[in-house]
Amino acid sequence: MPATVSQAQFMVPAALSESPPLMVRQRALVMKDVSEIIYEKMVKTIGTEYDYKTKIAGPSASGYASFVNPVFVSRADLDRGQIVSKQTEKVMDAYKNYETSIAHMFETVNGEVNKRFREAVDAKNEVYSIQMGKVLAFTGALAELGAGVVGLASFWMTGDPTVVRHLRGDDKVIAGGPVNIAISRPTLKAALVQRLIQSGRILVQADWNPAVLTSENDKNNAIIKGLQLPAYTPFTTGGLSHCDWVIIDGRKYLEVKISTV
């Protein structure tokens, strides 16, 4: 008979309107400190026109082509093939512009190394803050906000006992404790973190639409099912074993339930 050996609900806090100021400042400082390294890597990676065409222009042109409707005709009476051809030619011939823009961005101005790059980092602080604020509801930031649901769930399902000390006031342990369900702990943990962050962002963008919620739960559990030990019931949405986003009394949680076969 199947038996539940572990069940917990990790509360998802409301999405932040912006990231903690300290995190934004630290990101900017790090980016500025490694600006020389960034420039060197860019030059090393895209150091020739051949590099540019194979690593940037080619993939860019291919990506553009996939977005053009096959039956579209422009005002200039150009069909899809002609439009894609013109765009490809334009991108392929833009190496000099690319090279000039990179040199301009990292140029030393009035004795300040990489001045424009540093200014660009500062200019994007607000955008970074808003974008990261949406993600931090899921990832957390241990120094400023505490652990996030993604980390808690991944450690819980790989049997790490240290996760208990990071539980927050609104998290609920209903049964048992952390249990390792993984054939390979590192593999499951990496897959979970990536998938749950992606899933969380999709749900925020969809305003937690019920259909999207179910779809994301299905995807999450399908990944876990492929990486779990056979001693536990297969992970499925709402099943005896599951990792589901749920809404209870208006509050959002990531619920983990683990049952033996």
Per-residue pLDDT of 149-196, as tens digits, reads 888 999 999 999 999 998 988 999 999 999 999 999 999 999 998 999
Residue-averaged pLDDT of the chain: 87
Average pLDDT of span 70-89? 87
CA 93 vs CA 56, 57, 58, 62, 64: distances in Å: 12, 9, 11, 15, 16
The pLDDT confidence band at residue 256, using thresholds 50, 70 and 90, is: very high
**Would you say residue 109 has pLDDT above 60?**
yes
**Would you say residue 18 has pLDDT above 80?**
no
Write out the E strands in the chain: 3-11, 140-141, 146-147, 172-176, 242-248, 251-260
Tell me, yes or no, if the pTM score tops 0.75: no
**Would you say residue 96 has pLDDT above 80?**
yes
- pLDDT given for residue 250 in this prediction: 92
- pLDDT given for residue 147 in this prediction: 67
Q: For 46-63, write each residue's pLDDT tens digit.
A: 989 999 889 988 888 888
Q: What percent of the chain has pLDDT over 70?
A: 88
**Would you say residue 76 has pLDDT above 70?**
yes
The pLDDT confidence band at residue 146, using thresholds 50, 70 and 90, is: very low
Residue 179: CB atoms within 10 A of its CB come to 18
